[in-house]
């Protein structure tokens, strides 16, 4: 698997959560962001956060925080571009980026490997995750080589991830949605309660696929 960096997209407006920083909402006593990083960070060479505003609010994680260069909250594509630009300058030897949303605390532990495998097998420049017949465009594999094309598309007004990736070719890596959907995202307060129930069941069970093993084996 080629060297790959990760980005957690934490720059959304969280309207359904009542505003503020959704990744800092608590799940089982810890910020959502902590759960996302637990899942993603072991799979990548390094991680960067995409967020707008004062980066100091994420200081406890000690990670680089990059803001959108496209104004007016242009969506996840702008966050991906910000991370690609950071990579091109700070990690010029890394050609790949994997993105994950900051509200997905149950990401699969084989996310990066399977996205690369799907991309290689399909011969496309991009790949994204899917479960239960639904694609999850913000969870994807991005080549640094396409960053200028992405910038041009955003400046021209493009905001839909699947429309831009579809123009280049995007493979799909699919995961089962049982015993839980690994791309469950917490959009509203009641979603946090549902995620907490999933985590509690995982701790009570001997081992649920895709969840940390209480005995220390993934």
Q: What is the CATH number of the domain that holds 113?
A: 3.90.550.10
Q: Which residue has the tokens 């050609």?
A: 95
Q: Tell me, what's the pLDDT at 211?
A: 53
Structure token digits, residue 192: 């946090």
Q: Tell me, what's the pLDDT at 214?
A: 33
Angstrom distance (rounded) from CA 137 to CA 114? 15
Angstrom distance (rounded) from CA 28 to CA 164? 36
Is the pLDDT at 89 greater than 90, yes or no?
yes
Is the separation of the CB atoms in 36 and 8 below 8 Å?
yes
Q: Tell me, what's the pLDDT at 206?
A: 53
Within-domain flag for 212: no
**For 92-100, what is the mean pLDDT?**
97
Tens of pLDDT, residue by residue over 111-165, are: 999 999 999 999 999 999 999 999 999 999 999 999 999 999 999 999 999 999 9
Total tally of structural domains belonging to the chain: 1
- Mean pLDDT score of the chain: 89
**For 44-66, what is the mean pLDDT?**
96
Angstrom distance (rounded) from CA 83 to CA 144? 9
Q: Tell me, what's the pLDDT at 12?
A: 55
Q: Tell me, what's the pLDDT at 205?
A: 65
Angstrom distance (rounded) from CA 129 to CA 85? 23
Tens of pLDDT, residue by residue over 4-36, are: 999 999 975 544 444 568 899 999 999 999 999
- Domain span at residue 195 reads 4-204
Tens of pLDDT, residue by residue over 164-202, are: 999 999 999 999 998 899 999 888 888 888 889 988 887
Is the pLDDT at 210 greater than 60, yes or no?
no
The pTM score is: 0.89
Within-domain flag for 210: no
Of residues 204 and 216, which shows the higher confidence score?
204
Q: Tell me, what's the pLDDT at 39?
A: 97
Within-domain flag for 25: yes
Within-domain flag for 16: yes
Q: Tell me, what's the pLDDT at 215?
A: 32
Angstrom distance (rounded) from CA 117 to CA 139? 15
Q: Tell me, what's the pLDDT at 192?
A: 87
Within-domain flag for 214: no
Angstrom distance (rounded) from CA 102 to CA 82? 15
Within-domain flag for 122: yes
């Amino acid at each position: 698997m080629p060297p790959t960096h990760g980005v957690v997209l934490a720059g959304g407006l969280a309207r359904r959560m009542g505003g503020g920083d959704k990744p800092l909402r608590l799940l089982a006593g810890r910020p959502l962001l902590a759960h996302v990083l637990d899942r993603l960070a072991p799979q990548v060479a390094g991680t960067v956060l995409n967020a707008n505003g004062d980066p100091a609010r994420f200081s406890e994680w000690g990670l680089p925080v990059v803001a959108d260069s496209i104004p007016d909250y242009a969506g996840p594509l702008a966050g991906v571009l910000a991370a690609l630009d950071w990579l091109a300058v700070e990690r010029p030897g890394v050609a790949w980026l994997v993105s994950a949303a900051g509200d997905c605390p149950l990401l699969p532990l084989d996310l990066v490997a399977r996205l690369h495998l799907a991309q290689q097998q399909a011969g496309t420049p991009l790949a994204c995750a899917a479960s239960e017949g639904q694609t999850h465009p913000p969870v994807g594999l991005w080549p640094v080589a396409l960053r200028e094309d992405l910038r041009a598309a955003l400046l021209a007004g493009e905001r839909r991830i699947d429309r831009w990736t579809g123009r280049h070719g995007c493979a799909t890596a699919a995961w089962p949605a049982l015993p839980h959907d690994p791309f469950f995202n917490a959009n509203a307060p009641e979603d946090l309660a549902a995620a907490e129930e999933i985590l509690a069941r995982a701790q009570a069970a001997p081992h649920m696929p895709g969840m940390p093993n209480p005995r220390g084996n993934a």
